[in-house]
A = this chain, B = another copy of it.
Amino acid sequence: MSIHDCSDDAARSADSAFSGRSAPRTVVMKFGGTSVKDLERIRIVAEKVRKERAKGQRVAVVVSAMSGVTNQMVDYCRTLNAQADPAEYDAVVASGEQVTSGLLAIALGALGVPARSFQGWQIPLLTDEMHGCAAIEDVDGTALRQCMDQGIVPVIAGFQGVDAKGRIATLGRGGSDTSAVALAAAIKADQCDIYTDVDGIYTTDPRIVKQARRLEQITYEEMLELASVGAKVLQTRSVGLAMREKVHVRVLSSFVETDENSGTIVVDEDESVEKKLVTGIAYSMDDAKITIRQVPDEPGIAARIFEPLSAAGLNVDMIVQSIGADRSTNMTFTVSKGDEGRACQILEEMRPEIGYGDLNTSKNVAKISVVGVGMRSNTGVATTMFRTLAEKGINLQVISTSEIKISVLIDAEYMELAMRALHTAYGLDAAEGAGA
């Protein structure tokens, strides 16, 4: 499946409305919790599904729980037992999607659209036994395809599957996106439309940069990098899965009228038609910076410092090592703010053994990242970033780069200024009045 197949299909689908001579497109429509939060929203979703199907497409739907329901179920479980059996937790919380799937099937029936609900175990969507955050092992598309062959819209409870022992397992928060992508792959859908409360992926956060612009396309890799630094529209796992399975994912809003040009399509790099150096700019205020000074400059010292942190389950992100005078070195790195206390405790424990000097931490930092597959072949991206921030007098505390991302750590109070300056510098600003 490539973008060309997809375009061909779209063309054929348009044809088929007149000539009926080609196979219809298959579309998965996924609706999140805010999109099905009450009966009125469920009716609106039913109407959207009816319209998609009326175009002559085969449609399968994936739904989340009505918003608030999952939280209530989680509260029930935690209140009864803070260490609730994860398999029982799953049986309880999976009920939310079960309800929505049945209700949407009923709402579709009221519009004259034949529909039936599917729970994870009815598909079956097989998972491993990591209850509460299970991974999908296999999806059998047979029943869903048979359903669509009969003109019936399958309405699938997202977020849930069944393990090898026949117990309900949930995929963890945001797991309905992953359900939708896995199901789209299983039924060889031409597109997987993720309806949410935003109308697409933006070049940056519109609350901070008002010239932020909706992207028509973004690559899987860019999406992954943006998601990991704070632009949480799609669950990261679902993007990785879409990349591996080459599922065309589109993010669009369930709160406005949409057409085939709405939202943002997530595509493979080969298929990307928008060749830009930088696709988006993200920020994160969730990091803490830790600096340890006068570390002995010995071989293996980095491993001796970071292995215990890793063993404790702490995720160390940006690392900079700077050589000081007198055969010592300074080590700076970031962890998430929530892990900062635990990280310092572990570092204090190893101080006698390592024999370092100061240990300083700061939570007053922001991480700014520019992301774009174009920077693979262009070294000017980093230069632009450094020069732009320097012109605004912003000091770079840590720099880290990956193939398609450059991140810098700066003083938190400069975050908005840095974001706006970079958005302009990379030519991402929407034309006046053409913004979201």
Stretch in A26-34, A103-111, A216-224, A387-395 touching the partner:
A103-111
A130, CB-defined interface residue at 8 Å: no
In the bound complex, residues from chain B placing their C-beta under 8 Å from that of A80 are 39, 42-43, 103, 106-107, 110
Which chain B residue lies CB-closest to A155? B88
In the assembled complex, the CB of A41 is this many whole angstroms from the nearest CB of chain B, namely: 12
A88 contacts B106, C-beta separation under 8 Å: yes
A406, CB-defined interface residue at 8 Å: no
Stretch in A1-9, A117-125, A171-179, A228-236 touching the partner:
A117-125
User: Per DSSP, are chain A's interface residues mostly helix, strand or loop, or mixed?
Assistant: helix
Q: In the docked arrangement, what's the CA distance between A116 and B166, Å? A: 12
A95 contacts B106, C-beta separation under 8 Å: no
A79, CB-defined interface residue at 8 Å: yes
**In the complex, which of the residues B101, B106, B168 contacts A89, with contact meaning CB atoms closer than 8 Å?**
B106
**In the complex, which of the residues B76, B84, B105, B168 contacts A88, with contact meaning CB atoms closer than 8 Å?**
B105
**In the complex, which of the residues B85, B106, B107, B116 contacts A106, with contact meaning CB atoms closer than 8 Å?**
B85
**Contact residues, A282-340 vs B (CB, 8 A):** none
Q: In the docked arrangement, what's the CA distance between A107 and B78, Å? A: 10
A91, CB-defined interface residue at 8 Å: yes
Q: In the docked arrangement, what's the CA distance between A21 and B400, Å? A: 71
In the assembled complex, the CB of A159 is this many whole angstroms from the nearest CB of chain B, namely: 14
In the assembled complex, the CB of A119 is this many whole angstroms from the nearest CB of chain B, namely: 7
* This chain's copy number in the assembly: 2
Known: A80-B43, A80-B110. A117 touches B91 (CB 8 A): yes
Extra inter-chain contacts (14) besides given A81-B109, A88-B115, CB under 8 Å:
A43-B80, A81-B110, A84-B106, A85-B105, A85-B109, A88-B116, A88-B117, A91-B98, A91-B101, A91-B102, A91-B119, A92-B106, A95-B95, A122-B166
In the bound complex, residues from chain B placing their C-beta under 8 Å from that of A168 are 119
Q: In the docked arrangement, what's the CA distance between A90 and B99, Å? A: 10
4 tightest A-B contacts by CB?
A: A92-B102, A91-B102, A81-B110, A95-B95
Q: In the docked arrangement, what's the CA distance between A119 and B94, Å? A: 12
Q: In the docked arrangement, what's the CA distance between A77 and B106, Å? A: 7
**Contact residues, A112-150 vs B (CB, 8 A):** 115-117, 119, 121-122
- Chain A interface size range: 35 or more
Known: A42-B80, A80-B43, A81-B110. A99 touches B105 (CB 8 A): no
A344, CB-defined interface residue at 8 Å: no
A167, CB-defined interface residue at 8 Å: yes
**In the complex, which of the residues B92, B106, B117 contacts A81, with contact meaning CB atoms closer than 8 Å?**
B106
Q: In the docked arrangement, what's the CA distance between A85 and B108, Å? A: 10
Chain B CB within 10 A, most for which of A43, A88, A116, A168? A88
Q: In the docked arrangement, what's the CA distance between A134 and B237, Å? A: 40
A215, CB-defined interface residue at 8 Å: no
B99 contacts A87, C-beta separation under 8 Å: no
In the assembled complex, the CB of A72 is this many whole angstroms from the nearest CB of chain B, namely: 10
A73, CB-defined interface residue at 8 Å: yes
In the bound complex, residues from chain B placing their C-beta under 8 Å from that of A73 are 99
Which chain B residue lies CB-closest to A94? B98
A89 contacts B102, C-beta separation under 8 Å: yes
In the assembled complex, the CB of A164 is this many whole angstroms from the nearest CB of chain B, namely: 13
B116 contacts A103, C-beta separation under 8 Å: no
In the bound complex, residues from chain B placing their C-beta under 8 Å from that of A101 are 91
In the bound complex, residues from chain B placing their C-beta under 8 Å from that of A39 are 76, 79-80
In the bound complex, residues from chain B placing their C-beta under 8 Å from that of A76 are 39, 99, 103
Which chain B residue lies CB-closest to A107? B80
Q: In the docked arrangement, what's the CA distance between A117 and B91, Å? A: 8
In the bound complex, residues from chain B placing their C-beta under 8 Å from that of A88 are 102-103, 105-106, 109, 115-117
In the assembled complex, the CB of A122 is this many whole angstroms from the nearest CB of chain B, namely: 6
**In the complex, which of the residues B42, B84, B85, B95 contacts A98, with contact meaning CB atoms closer than 8 Å?**
B95
B84 contacts A109, C-beta separation under 8 Å: yes
Q: In the docked arrangement, what's the CA distance between A103 and B73, Å? A: 9
